[in-house]
Amino acid sequence: MPFQCGVLNPPVPKPLRFWKIGRALRKAIESYPEDIKVAIAGTGGLSHQVHGERCGFINTPWDMEFLERLEKDPEGLTKVTIAEYAKLGGMEGAEVVMWLLMRGALSNKVKKLHQTYYVPSMTAISSVIFEDDSVDPVTETNEQFRTRMMTQYAGIEKLEGTYPYVIERSVKAFRLNRFLHSLIKPEFRKQFLADPTPLFEQHKLTAQERELVMKRDWRALMHYGVIFFLLEKFAAVVGTTNLHVYAAMRGQSLEDFMKTRNTQVLYSVAGNDDSKKTWDPPAAKA
């Protein structure tokens, strides 16, 4: 799961902010209901600068100090400003604060298993592997954390006909959502419309997931956990408008649903192709 971080164009976060994001990420991972293994990767080159008269700057002593402190005193690195990081490691070398995010997601004490360092050209490159090496104090249980995390959603489960995209739904429908997201690729769409079976096999969809897709059962797809924005793209691919999907969600005919709208307009994320706005296709056969 990529986590994009920017430090080269102001305004930029403080290094402490990156550290805190890492700590929050750790709590989120620990609160996950299943026992899984997780690897956190911090990316970005060490000392380097690729612009101006300082172009080609490398500071190996600072790189070694940074790696040592990253292991043993990471919170001390949060007190270094971006300007100081640029002075010590080059302007673009300030991106090492992303390593702080990674380190913040680990335990207070870590064990270094591996380290390499070399300067092949313009950027000092290092690979370091840490693993947790301490049991940190627990300030709140995982259940307390999950409750606090969901404070703004408290009571939302009582809204009839509403399906918040919580972690359980995300995990359950991940495979199917990834399949539908692949419809952004022209070759995938072409194969899907011609014969989706090979794609079903490739993405390891279950029998239930295949049936939901083949029947174009919009309401059941939403119940299962499909993200709506993927659902409307799927509808556009198979020639169904957004309004047809909305009506199906409510268990109404398109005519009855349109009676509840002021504007009688059909539209689709497919754009201006009228062929995708004028018909309600029959359910496809499984």
pLDDT tens by residue, 100-143: 999 999 999 999 999 999 999 999 999 999 999 999 888 888 88
The model's pTM is 0.67
Q: Give the pLDDT confidence score for residue 273 in this predicted structure.
A: 58
Check pLDDT > 90 for residue 84: yes
DSSP-based three-state secondary structure for 125: strand
Q: 110: which strand partners?
A: 132
Q: Considering only CA atoms, which of 207, 203, 163, 164 is closest in space to residue 181?
A: 203
The whole-angstrom separation of Cα 115 and Cα 112 is 8
Q: Give the pLDDT confidence score for residue 235 in this predicted structure.
A: 93
Q: Give the pLDDT confidence score for residue 286 in this predicted structure.
A: 41
The whole-angstrom separation of Cα 248 and Cα 283 is 12
The whole-angstrom separation of Cα 8 and Cα 267 is 41
The whole-angstrom separation of Cα 37 and Cα 19 is 21
Q: Give the pLDDT confidence score for residue 272 in this predicted structure.
A: 60
